């Protein structure tokens, strides 16, 4: 934790950098409030801005999404304090971070009109950070998962590219290719398919490609992020470039089955305490989750041919295997 005047300090929560301050008593507010950021440099910049312009003005500037409106607020606040001239100056949107794949820079006029027919003046990084800030309904674990998607799979590729230059597929005609454009299906998906998994410490594991299920999960979240641009008034995009992309339903993986000799060797190598469980799994073909959900009253051993009914019951706390006479029976 680092303390900064005037009574502003930074606390790191998961991948967030929160700037906290104490509210005056008697206003009906919580004892303290915070502004969240996803880069420590942005949090430090907010503290510096609050020290010069005041907390309320700094919050207003940082929460304004429109580039021109934010620039106007900042210029007005500085001019009132005699720090800069009141005349507007062009705003330069940072160039994309990918080498040789995007334009060098996008010039925005003082009235907020980006130069170029497709440019919106909104880089993907700002759209993503705004999207994360609005996911207040997510549990902490899901929020960390989304942040990991952005940190490892979205921001390294799209970075500060103008969202108007992020398209779904590359045009068939060369004349229709947009200079500096990035393509979700033709470019980003190829990178994802070539990206290895990460271990619990976030380190890459070469030779272990990401599953299609995981890639689909990231693609769905990417589509939700672009929906935010479509919901703006007026919309920043015409279509969602991450929607309508189809992936294989599942990975093709070879299945291996134990023969009698392999099952016997496995049984002999196990601790005697677990051998009855292995005998049950091999004898019935039940899954481990199904066997783990069984109770004594679920076993019908008094019949000529013993039967174990199994099914999955969905509850608010998750999916739990339980027994039921209404579903498929497993017979030893």
How buried is 259 (Cβ within 10 angstroms: 0-12 exposed, 13-18 middle, 19+ buried)? exposed
How far is C-alpha 277 from the chain's CA centre? 39
Burial 214-235 (b: 16+ CB within 10 A, else e): bbeebbebbbebbebbeeeeee
Is there a domain that residue 198 lies in? Answer: yes
- Reported pTM: 0.49
Contact 302, 280 (CB under 8 A): no
In this structure, are 278 and 311 located in the same domain?
yes
Same domain (yes/no): 105, 245: yes
What is 46-76 written as a DSSP string?
Answer: HHHHHHHH-HHHHHHHHH---HHHHHHHHHH
Give yes or no: residues 193 and 307 share one domain.
Answer: no
**Residue where a domain terminates, one of 253, 285, 302:** 253
- Domain co-membership, 148 together with 239: yes
Residue 303 lies in a domain: yes
Domain match, 297 and 244 both: no
Query: Domain for residue 276, yes or no?
Result: yes
**Does a structural domain hold residue 56?**
no
- The number of C-alpha atoms within 13 Å of 46 and in the hemisphere containing its C-beta is 26
Cβ atoms within 10 Å, residue 92: 10
Task: Specify if 31 maps to a domain.
Answer: no
pLDDT at residue 100 in the model: 33
107 lies in the same domain as 165: yes
Q: Is 325 left (phi over 0), alpha (psi -120 to 50) or beta?
A: alpha
Task: Kindly state whether residues 322 and 247 are assigned to the same domain.
Answer: no
Whether residues 141 and 196 fall in one domain: yes
Q: What CATH number should be reported for the domain holding residue 248?
A: 1.10.150.130
The reported pLDDT for the residue numbered 20 is 86
The answer to whether the CB of 202 falls within 8 A of the CB of 188 is: no
Count, in order, helices (H) and strands (E) of the chain.
11, 14
Q: Tell me the backbone φ, ψ of residue 81, rounded to 5 degrees.
A: -95, 5
The span from the CA of 14 to the CA of 36, in Å, is 11
Please indicate, yes or no, whether residues 108 and 226 belong to a single structural domain of this protein: yes
Last residue of a domain, one of 227, 253, 279: 253
The distance from CA 327 to its chain's CA centroid, rounded to whole angstroms, is 37
Classify residue 282 by burial, with Cβ atoms within 10 Å: 0-12, 13-18, 19+: middle
| 132 contacts 124 by C-beta, under 8 angstroms | no
Task: Please tell me whether residues 223 and 246 are part of one structural domain.
Answer: yes
Domain endpoint, select from 197, 224, 253: 253
Query: What is the full DSSP assignment across 223-271?
Result: HHHHHHHHHSSS-S-SS-TTTT----SS---------HHHHHHHHHHS-
What is the structure's pLDDT at 289? 80
Which pLDDT belongs to residue 293?
80
Predicted pLDDT at 12: 82
Domain membership flag for residue 185: yes
For residues 323 and 295, is the Cβ–Cβ distance under 8 A? yes
Residues ≥6 apart with Cβ < 8 Å to 271: none
- The structure tokens listed for 252 are 């093709």
Domain that holds residue 187: 97-253
Domain tally, the chain:
2
Both 216 and 312 in one domain: the answer is no
* Cis peptide bond upstream of 208, omega within 30: no
Q: Helices 124-133 and 140-149, interaxial angle, to 10°? A: 170
Same domain, 175 and 223: yes
3-state DSSP call for residue 156?
helix
pLDDT of the residue at 191: 92
The pLDDT profile of the chain, 332 residues, written as one tens digit per residue, is: 333 345 788 888 777 788 888 877 777 777 788 888 877 888 888 888 888 788 888 888 877 767 778 788 888 888 887 765 444 444 433 333 333 333 334 444 444 444 456 788 899 999 999 999 988 888 888 888 899 899 899 999 999 999 999 999 999 998 888 888 999 999 999 999 999 988 877 788 888 889 888 999 999 999 999 999 998 878 888 889 999 898 877 656 677 788 889 989 999 999 999 999 899 888 888 888 888 888 888 777 788 887 777 665 544 444 445 444 444 445 55
Q: Are 223 and 243 in contact (CB under 8 A)?
A: yes
In a domain, 37, yes or no: no
Strand partners, 93: 106
pLDDT of amino acid 11: 86
168 within some domain: yes
């Amino acid at each position: 934790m680092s303390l900064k005047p005037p009574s502003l300090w930074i606390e790191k929560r998961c991948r967030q950098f929160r700037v906290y301050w104490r509210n005056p008593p008697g206003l009906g507010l919580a004892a303290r409030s915070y502004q969240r950021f996803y880069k420590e440099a942005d949090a430090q910049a907010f503290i510096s801005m609050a020290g010069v312009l005041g907390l309320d003005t700094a919050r207003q500037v940082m929460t304004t999404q429109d580039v021109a409106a934010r620039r106007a607020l900042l210029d007005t606040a500085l001019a009132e304090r005699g720090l800069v001239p009141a005349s507007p100056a062009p705003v330069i949107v940072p160039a994309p971070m990918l080498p040789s794949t995007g334009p060098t820079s996008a010039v925005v006029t003082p009235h907020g009109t980006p130069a170029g027919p497709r440019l919106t003046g909104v880089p993907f990084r700002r759209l993503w950070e705004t999207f994360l800030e609005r996911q207040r309904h997510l549990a902490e674990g899901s929020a960390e998962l989304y942040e990991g998607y952005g940190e490892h799979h979205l921001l390294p590729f799209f970075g500060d590219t103008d969202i108007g230059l992020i398209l779904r597929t590359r045009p068939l005609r060369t004349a229709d290719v947009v200079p500096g454009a990035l393509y979700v299906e033709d470019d980003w998906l190829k990178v994802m398919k070539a990206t290895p998994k990460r271990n619990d410490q976030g380190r890459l594991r070469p030779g272990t490609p990401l599953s299609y299920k995981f890639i689909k999960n990231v693609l769905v979240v990417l589509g939700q992020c672009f929906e935010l641009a479509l919901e703006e008034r007026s919309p920043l995009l015409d279509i969602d470039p991450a929607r309508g992309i189809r992936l294989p339903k599942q990975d093709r993986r070879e299945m291996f089955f134990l023969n009698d000799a392999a099952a016997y060797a496995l049984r002999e190598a196990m601790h005697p305490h677990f051998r009855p469980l292995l005998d049950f799994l091999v004898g019935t073909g039940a899954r481990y989750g199904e066997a783990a959900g069984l109770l004594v009253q679920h076993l019908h051993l008094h019949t000529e041919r013993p039967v174990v009914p199994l099914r999955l019951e969905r509850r608010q706390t998750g999916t739990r295997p339980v027994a039921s006479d209404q579903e498929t029976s497993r017979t030893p």
